[in-house]
Amino acid sequence: MKNMEIENVISKVVAGSIAERFGVVPGDKLITINGQAIEDVIDYRFLTTDEHLEILMQKPDGSEWIIEVAKEYDDDLGIEFENPVMAETRECSNKCVFCFIDQMPPNMRSGLYIKDDDSRLSFLQGNYITLTNMKSNEIEKLIRYHISPLNISVHTTNPELRIKMLNNRFAGKIMEQMKLFHKNDLKMNIQIVLCPNFNDGQELDRTLSDLENVVTSIISVAVVPVGITKYQTNTSVQPVNQSKANEVVNQINKWQKKWLERFGRKVVYASDEFYLKANLPRPTADDYEAFFQLENGVGMLASFEEDLIKYVNKMPIIRKKNPYKISIATGIAASPFMKEMADIIMQKVQNLSINIFPITNDFFGNQITVSGLITGQDLVNQLSSTDLGHVLMIPKNMLKNEEDIFLDNMTLQQVKTQLHIPIEKSGVDGKQWVKTILRETSTKQNAGSVKHYVKTNCCRHRSTKCR
């Protein structure tokens, strides 16, 4: 009971909710629902679907009371917990040869070194799990509560190879586990981090062949390239080069064709990075059945372009009286694509100039080319002597969720101060990106404001024009 009291403390009660009507307030603790102890958020979510609830609550002073609730099965109680998992987060016991967290530099904020492999976080946030850190009773709970879809990091179905890649002697049971989920009608999204000379080539073919046995339970399979930072110490793990990327794309195309003919859908997709690395034409939105794994970079560019073009096509020609200049920072990999998107917008908005600045990742190493891993110091170091115009835009995925801080602990305000320019965060979908640009261009800048930016830039260059 002591652990439960710690884990099930209520942090927020939604106004007008069932919980508020029964007098529940932050600081109260949830003890049981219908006589059953709450081990974690999965128990809580499942038990609260009942239409008749008897809830045992506890006040901070230790007094207890019972709430009897009659509700619809999908009505939420309206409470949030200090610990969303409602249990201790299960950390990963694997030592994967490709683990990105093990390639992090020292002296970063502690949260960046946490390796979770927790089915509860998979349920809440869509995280991928290897299943190696779960006991049989936890597997049984997923089946009993029919938690679906499951997001599973497979990497390979070869038992010996998976044990080697994950450095975990329990890692070889993956097909056995997936067949159990398949038997119990649980759906799965699959992730494969492709490491050259480990799980590529014939091993990738073997993995996809094995997955064919449970394919009717698989929503999608994403193949993504291994990320290598300059802090990687395992020299056997090599990055995906252009030749390998081209090979993987061709290999996946063959499997897509086979599965489309046999099952009526493609199922497996290479992430956008493979097409960029191979310098191949990127797929269009029509090439995807759906965007099941955008978080893995599968179809992100196609989705972005589709949303942008649909939105821009509905726009009238916008004629700005005064020139307006926007700078956009992005990763090396996507910069040519972003230039294409910027050109589309500039055709619609006269007197607007958009400059794309690809940022080399000096912090993690030049093998890292995505925008989400760009740091504040790389922005400052590479843009400080550049005329950035009226505003700098960055994708919000450069920053910590719900907090304006970069991976290197620089704050957004610090970067603004050092670059002497306003910075706007943009969404990572095409429509929101365009709307951010239009919002900026509609902000009226008087002559004094423009002169201020020019003066600041000149002063930074120590130009005599500012004196």
Residue 405 has pLDDT above 90, yes or no: yes
**Is the backbone of residue 185 left (phi > 0), alpha (psi -120 to 50) or beta?**
left
* 8 A C-beta contact, residue 14 and residue 79: yes
Of 89-93, 287-291, 457-461, the least confident: 457-461
Is the pLDDT score of 238 beyond 80? yes
Residue 95: pLDDT over 70: yes
Does the pLDDT at position 122 exceed 90?
A: no
CB 177 within 8 A of CB 74: no
Is the peptide bond preceding residue 149 cis, with omega within 30 degrees of 0? yes
Tell me the longest C-alpha to C-alpha distance in the chain: 78
Interval 168-205: pLDDT, tens: 999 999 999 999 999 999 999 999 999 999 999 999 99
Q: Which of 194, 248, 184 is nearest to 216 (CA)?
A: 184
User: Helix H segments across 24-118?
Assistant: 41-47
Q: What is the three-state SS of 430-451?
A: HHHHHHHHHHHHHCCCCHHHHH
- Whether the pLDDT of residue 448 is over 60: the answer is no
What are the sequence ranges of the domains in the chain? 2-81, 101-294, 305-464
Is 445 a residue whose pLDDT tops 60? Answer: no
pLDDT, position 124 = 66
Question: Is 235 a residue whose pLDDT tops 50?
Answer: yes
**Terminus-to-terminus CA distance in the chain, angstroms?**
71
Q: State the pLDDT at residue 343.
A: 97
Say how far apart CA 156 and CA 465 lie, in whole Å. 63
Task: Look up residue 270 and give its two tokens.
Answer: 């290479």
Query: Which residue did the predictor score with more confidence, 111 or 250?
Result: 250
> 119, 144 in Cβ contact below 8 A?
no
> In the predicted model, what is the mean pLDDT of residues 117-125?
68
**Rounded to the nearest 5°, which phi and psi values hold at 71?**
-150, 175
Strand 36-37 relative to strand 29-33, pairing: antiparallel
Q: Strand ranges (DSSP E) for 71-163?
A: 79-81, 150-153
CATH T-level assignment (fold) for domain 101-294: Transcription Regulator spoIIAA (3.30.750)
Residue with tokens 């990327």: 245
Question: Is 446's pLDDT higher than 80?
Answer: no
Q: How would you list the strands of the sheet with 349-359, edge to edge? A: 349-359, 318-331, 391-395, 423-426
Residues 6+ apart with CB under 8 A from 151: 122, 126, 127, 128, 129, 188, 189, 191
Q: Which CATH class is domain 305-464?
A: alpha beta
Please report which confidence band the pLDDT of residue 123 belongs to, taking 50, 70 and 90 as the band edges: low
Mean pLDDT value across residues 88-102: 84
What pTM was computed for the model? 0.84
Fill in the amino acid letter for 216: T
Residue 86 in this model has a pLDDT that exceeds 90: no
> Has residue 452 got a pLDDT over 50?
no
Mean pLDDT of 391-413: 93
440 pLDDT band, cuts 50/70/90, is confident
What pLDDT does residue 59 have?
92
Average pLDDT of the segment spanning 255-273: 97
Tell which wins on pLDDT, 323 or 39: 323
Are the C-beta atoms of residues 268 and 259 closer than 8 Å to each other? yes
- pLDDT tops 50 at residue 453: no
pLDDT-based confidence at residue 113 (cuts at 50, 70, 90)? confident
Q: Residue 459 above 70 pLDDT?
A: no
What pLDDT is stored for residue 40 in this prediction?
A: 84
Helix residue spans in 48-158 (DSSP H):
119-125, 136-144
> Structure tokens of 400?
């910590």
Among 182, 134, 177, residue whose Cα is nearest residue 159: 177
Q: 294 pLDDT exceeds 60?
A: yes
Q: Calculate what percentage of the chain has a pLDDT beyond 90.
A: 72
Q: Domain 2-81, CATH 2.30.42.10 — does that match?
A: yes
Inform me whether the pLDDT recorded for 414 exceeds 60. yes
Pairing of strands 391-395, 423-426: parallel
| Contact yes or no for 66/50 (Cβ under 8 A) | no
The count of residues in the chain is: 467
Query: Is the pLDDT at 463 greater than 60, yes or no?
Result: no
Q: Give residues with Cβ within 8 angstroms of 297, minimum separation 6.
A: 224, 271, 272, 273, 370
Q: Is the pLDDT of residue 2 over 50?
A: no
pLDDT value of residue 7: 66
| Greater model confidence, 449 or 43 | 43
Residue 418: predicted pLDDT: 96
Q: Inform me whether the pLDDT recorded for 454 exceeds 70.
A: no
455 or 348, which is more confident: 348
d(CA 124, CA 321): 48
Across residues 321-335, what is the average pLDDT? 94
Kindly report the CA angle at 48 between 46 and 53, in degrees rounded to 5?
135
45 — pLDDT class (breaks 50, 70, 90): confident
